[in-house]
């Protein structure tokens, strides 16, 4: 389910980006541009909450594990080394990390640039 959802979010985001850019370059009404901007801002907040919330679980558990391994008590260090970091599993081979959001944003930027270049050449 996740790869399909990710592709759908990327497609919506790219369409909103291109619409936002072209709305300021054309003679459309100002309310159309403001509406597109509001939709884009809402989508960005939604994506941030989805990705960062799941990724923070991994980061916090990694800090907790590091704190345990730096502890002076020997049995706590052994426990800390043996603990796996908590992960929000999306599929059997994929989980959220902080880099997931950065990769997602880079994909959105790349696809937006590609669509704008294709639009300008045609």
**What's the pLDDT score for residue 85?**
63
Q: Which residues of the chain are under the pLDDT cut of 70?
A: 1-3, 26-28, 54-55, 85-100
Q: Taking the CB of residue 36, how many other CB atoms lie within 10 A of it?
A: 21
* CA dist., res. 34 & res. 32, Å (int): 5
pTM: 0.61
Query: Which pLDDT score, from 0 to 100, does residue 29 have?
Result: 74
Extents of the domains making up the chain: 2-107
pLDDT of res. 90? 58
């Amino acid at each position: 389910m996740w790869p399909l959802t990710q592709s759908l979010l990327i497609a919506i985001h790219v369409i909103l980006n291109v619409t936002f850019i072209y709305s300021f370059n054309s003679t459309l009404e100002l309310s159309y541009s403001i509406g597109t901007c509001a939709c884009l801002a809402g989508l960005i907040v939604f994506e941030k909450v989805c990705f960062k919330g799941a990724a923070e679980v991994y980061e916090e558990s990694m800090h907790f594990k590091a704190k345990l391994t730096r502890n002076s008590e020997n049995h706590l260090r052994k426990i800390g080394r043996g603990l796996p970091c908590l992960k929000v599993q999306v599929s059997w081979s994929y989980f959220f990390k902080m880099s997931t959001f950065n990769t997602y944003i880079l994909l959105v930027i790349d696809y937006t640039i590609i669509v704008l270049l294709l639009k300008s050449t045609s």
